Amino acid sequence: MPPERIVAPAGVVELLRPGHVRGEVPGHRTSTRHVRALYPFQAESALPALGPVIGQTSYGHAFLYDAFELYARRLISSPNMAVLGQLGKGKSGFLKAYLFRQHVFGRHAAVLDVKGEYAKLAQLIGGTVVKLTPGGACG
């Protein structure tokens, strides 16, 4: 049985190969192993399983992420992070847990804390809180 043919829309540039008819495009068959490319959000992470747990994959497995380790392995160009999102969606809670878990791995971070909500975490892990004020003293 010959493969199913699909008629190309008018105005489409056609590249003809031997055996193909002008105005028709041959059908394409594939297996389910290619579905990951069509919907990559269902695929497992390509990152190595290193660092603190920060969540779950869609398969229910732990998702680990350590920017410092990935930077050391030259998989990313910088260990810096920015956490962005809508108000009240858990950015601060995530970041506090992540920073505490990174501390367990011996990592240190600097946080620009406009609201003053990270002072307790800094005290808990032996960090230093630096308050910046207009006209304030340096040191």
What is the rounded distance in angstroms from the CA atom of residue 99 to the CA atom of residue 68?
A: 12
Rounded CA-CA distance 56/45 in Å is 11
Domain positions in the chain: 42-80, 86-139
Distance, in Å, from the CA atom of 41 to the CA atom of 137, rounded to the nearest integer, reads 49
**Which tens digits make up the pLDDT trace of 61-115?**
788 888 888 888 898 899 888 889 999 999 999 999 989 988 888 888 888 888 8
Residues 13-53 pLDDT 10s: 445 555 555 555 555 555 665 555 555 455 555 666 678 88
Q: Cβ(70)–Cβ(47) under 8 Å?
A: yes
Give kind and range of the element (H or E) at residue 37: helix 35-38
- How many Å apart are CA 104 and CA 48, to the nearest integer? 19
Count of beta carbons in the 10 Å neighbourhood of residue 8: 13
Q: Decide: pTM greater than 0.85.
A: no
Give the pLDDT score at 13: 47
What integer pLDDT is reported at residue 119 of this predicted model? 92
